[in-house]
């Protein structure tokens, strides 16, 4: 198994968060990632392999997940495997028969000199600012639950997951490792958070890029250029204030957001691979 430092950019920056408040354990066959403070976080509690699965691996990999994750955190009822390879592959039949699905992601990177202004300026009545955590965390969580639109059920379970994530980001912010940002809309009663994302890094002494987290926009406020303005402002802050040299964002290769990121100067890179089996939501 590759050492963490030898992983591709997407996975290496992913592990930055587990390194902050979780557990990274290098085994001969994989890297074990655990997040004790958030056991229902699928991609905070998983096994990372440096090769594609082969026919017959489903039973072995599932057993390894039970040994390394589920046995330690019974709340982790999902089963997830990351694969760090540049080569596309199909999910073997034995994985499909066990209920697993394969998803691709695309890693995009940007250096300071590549940042471009958004095509549309931020409309009047909106502003971009870092959130004050923990005071504004509940507002961010509710926006995240709304944008999820019931994709992850039950809703209360997803809300708890997002609350735990925001607590992690608050802790990282207190240590100067980044911030959570939002677009605020003027309303009759004050302001409403209508888009948000995070940007974090590994800290002084690490020649590592900044990594975006959870970019989203309220459904009623999409197609107004808010997301472009938010990402641009966060990139500018990371380059100017934090003095970061490279930024990383990961997206679904079929998501239209990739075009938005590329318009700002991000460059598409290698793919990442995720194998997951969702928990039985009917289970207690």
Q: Where along the chain do its domains lie?
A: 4-107+273-277, 111-268
Nearest residue to 45 via CA among 75, 85, 20, 10: 75
232 pLDDT band, cuts 50/70/90, is: very high
* CA dist., res. 182 & res. 184, Å (int): 6
| 3.40.630.30, 1.20.1110.10, 3.40.50.300, 3.40.190.10: CATH of 111-268 | 3.40.630.30
Question: How does pLDDT run across 148-184, given as a tens digit for each residue?
Answer: 988 887 899 999 999 999 999 999 999 999 999 999 9
Residue 283 has pLDDT above 60, yes or no: no
Average pLDDT, integer, range 264-273: 93
Over residues 200-227, mean pLDDT? 89
176 forms bridges with which residues in the sheet?
A: none
214 pLDDT above the threshold of 50: yes
Unique residue bearing structure tokens 């697993």:
100
Q: How sure is the predictor about 281, in pLDDT bands with cuts at 50, 70 and 90?
A: low
Calpha distance 207→205 (Å, rounded): 7
CA distance 147 to 169: 19
Q: Is the pLDDT of residue 205 over 60?
A: no
């Amino acid at each position: 198994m590759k050492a963490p430092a030898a992983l591709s950019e997407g996975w290496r920056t992913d592990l930055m968060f587990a390194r902050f408040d979780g557990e990274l354990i290098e085994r001969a066959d994989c890297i074990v990632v655990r997040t004790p403070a958030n056991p229902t976080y699928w991609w905070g509690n998983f096994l990372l392999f440096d090769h594609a699965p082969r026919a017959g691996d489903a039973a072995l990999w599932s057993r390894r997940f039970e040994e390394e994750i589920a046995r330690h955190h019974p709340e982790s009822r999902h089963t997830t495997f990351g694969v760090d390879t540049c080569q596309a592959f199909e999910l073997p039949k034995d994985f499909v028969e066990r209920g697993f699905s394969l998803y691709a992601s695309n890693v995009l990177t940007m250096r300071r000199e590549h940042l471009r202004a958004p095509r549309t300026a931020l409309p009047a009545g909106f502003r971009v600012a870092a959130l004050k955590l923990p005071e504004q965390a509940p507002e961010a969580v509710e926006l995240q639950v709304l944008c999820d639109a019931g994709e992850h059920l039950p809703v209360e379970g997803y809300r708890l997951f997002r609350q735990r994530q925001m607590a992690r980001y608050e802790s990282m912010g207190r240590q100067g490792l980044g911030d959570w940002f939002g677009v605020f809309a003027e309303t009759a009663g004050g302001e409403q958070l209508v888009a948000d994302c995070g940007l974090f890094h590994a800290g002084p002494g690490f020649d590592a890029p900044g990594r975006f987290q959870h970019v989203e926009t309220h459904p009623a406020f999409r197609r107004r250029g808010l997301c472009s303005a938010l990402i641009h402002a966060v990139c500018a802050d990371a380059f100017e204030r934090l003095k970061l040299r490279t930024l990383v964002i990961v997206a679904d290769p079929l998501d239209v957001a990739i075009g938005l990121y590329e318009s700002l100067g991000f460059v598409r890179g290698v793919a990442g691979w995720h194998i997951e089996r969702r928990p039985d939501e009917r289970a207690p």
